[in-house]
Amino acid sequence: MTGRIEIRRRAYLAGAFSLEEEADRALGRLRALPMAETPFAALEPARSLAQAAALDRARARGDALGPLAGALLAHKDMFDREGFSTGFGAHFSRRQPAAGTATVLSRLDAAGQVDLGRLKMSEFAMGPTGHNHHHGMPANPAVPGAITGGSSSGSGAAVAAGHVAAALGSDTGGSIRLPAACNGVVGFKPTQGRAPMDRTMPLGYSQDCVGPLAATVADAQAVLSLIAPLPPAAPKPVPVAELRVGFDTGAFTDGISARMRHALSDLVARLAAMGARPVGLDLAFLSHLGEPANVTAMAEAAAVHADALALAPDSYGPQVRARLVQAAAIPAHAYLRAQQIRRVAHDRLTAEAFGRVDLLLLPTLADTPPQAALLDVGDGPGVDSVVAGLTRLTRPASFLGLPALSLPIARLADGPLSVQVIGPAWADDRVAALALTIETALALPAIQPEPEYA
Amino acid sequence: MDLTDYLGRPPTPSETAIFRDQQARLGPGIFENPLLRSEIVEGIAFVPRAARLMTTRPLIEPELPQ
């Protein structure tokens, strides 16, 4: 299936529109959005229009243009761009002027993107709901009143609303896949270590990944390939007729809704009809990764934030500060014990799952996205149960460094149901290939308008 | 760790509560985590917990494919 970015690129190269005019119109629409609803933290109109005009001139000269030519993008407000400030979803006093540009942005610039600006996010990327004490949560365009999911809340909402073709996010425990699932779009967390992390805000060093959210699998894969080419020896896709697909039959997915179970079961049956071999696996041991993953993330986050926390604790929102306080209760040997648990889980998943299957299918959320009002829980110990509940199904792939792509498999009246395709390390292309097969087979109605020039 | 040093001011009641909650969760979630008693990995049927902890290297990253 051809992605929307490629469709627009072809139209742009054929002279169907002026990118400068297109960007100007988009900026006009975005300026008109109410602050409380917009997924944008900041627009960068002068730079965006200059970028678009330069591409129009290059097209007029007949220069070769990159694979993103014609596409409007925007990114989570955690990537440095020289000459601008990075906001991190934090209090305005914490903005930092950038001394250089993140490699991931430079690569997308070189590929011909027009970057419209900075997208809202959970404060310092700490929060899976999308709530933000300082700046609020952007509206979920797919499900009125529902959480956008976090921490890449603006990225999910901007793609779902059709403001941009794709947006970079980051994922430490589900922060790409959760907003993708909440907004009914695609989110692709690559293998840990694949995407360059320079000049990007750290949260938890050993789990942080940069990756795209996009309207289609092809778009997400295209953007990911541009920011982070795979090594040549990475595992290749497996034809669906030869594919062994694992799904959980154990307690790890006990908590999912009946309709999610039904949708997943239908999907597995559909893949089987295409020749794939479904393999039931008991993945109950993944249930024991929540606390070690959280201990790891919070201890690493404290290494980033401890100095600022002691100097200006009240520049943090109460919920983020509360989560950083968790780190003070984690001694060094608890952190290292969490890494031992991580090693054991990695070895078990390698032996018990990827020894028997090529890919895993798991739900991303237990059901459709919850309403925002239900999860605005303040700063007490209840925070942890909300975090643990939302990230239960996404954390294992983060903690074990695995590629995982979330895509919608049903659109219900109260929101989308989404699954993750998870692979062994570096099997990102295999993950994308199955996701594309699923997307094509299901042919769900588009969440945003098809491109004008399709 | 002293929370007043950590925060640069005395903790609020909810900050103290979340600190204690995290301390309490380290027992079942980390030090007594069932995965540390896993009967797995390359044919090892049973490994005493203490031996497992001594032989489990904690730091991993996905290895680049060869």
- pLDDT band per the 50, 70, 90 thresholds, residue A220: very high
User: What is the CATH number for A167?
Assistant: 3.90.1300.10
Query: pLDDT tens digits, residue range A164-214?
Result: 999 999 999 999 999 999 999 999 999 999 999 999 999 999 999 999 999
Query: pLDDT tens digits, residue range A330-341?
Result: 999 999 999 999
Between chain A and chain B, how many beta carbons pairs sit less than 8 Å apart? 150
Q: Do B29 and A193 touch (CB under 8 A)?
A: no
Compare CB distances from A325 to B19, B38, B62 and report the shortest one's residue: B19
Query: pLDDT tens digits, residue range B6-55?
Result: 999 999 998 999 999 999 999 999 999 999 876 544 444 445 556 666 66
Q: A264 is written with which tokens?
A: 């997943």
Spatial CB neighbours of A107, under 8 Å, sequence gap ≥ 6: A226, A227
- pLDDT band per the 50, 70, 90 thresholds, residue A398: very high
Annotated catalytic residues of A are: 76, 151, 175
Contact residues, A window 311-340, toward B, CB-based 8 Å cutoff: 311-313, 318, 321-323, 325-326, 328-330, 334, 336-340
Spell out which residues of chain B touch residue A306, defining contact as CB-CB under 8 Å: 6
Residue A9 in any domain: the answer is no
Residue A250 in any domain: the answer is yes
Structurally, chain A folds into a number of domains equal to: 1
CA of A248 to nearest chain B CA: how many angstroms apart?
A: 18
- Asked if the C-beta of B51 comes within 8 angstroms of chain A's C-beta atoms, the answer is no
Nearest to A209 by CA among A395, A84, A66: A395
Mean pLDDT, rounded, for A228-239: 92
Q: Do B18 and A291 touch (CB under 8 A)?
A: no
Q: A104 is written with which tokens?
A: 């991931």
Q: Domain-by-domain residue ranges, chain B?
A: 3-55
- pLDDT band per the 50, 70, 90 thresholds, residue A385: confident
B30 DSSP 8-state letter = I
Cis amide linkage into residue A418, ω under 30° from 0: no
Quick one: pLDDT at residue B61?
Answer: 65
- pLDDT band per the 50, 70, 90 thresholds, residue A373: confident
Nearest to A227 by CA among A242, A247, A212: A212
Q: Do B8 and A306 touch (CB under 8 A)?
A: no
Spell out which residues of chain A touch residue B36, defining contact as CB-CB under 8 Å: 337, 340-341, 344
Find the domain containing A127 and state its range: 120-217+227-442
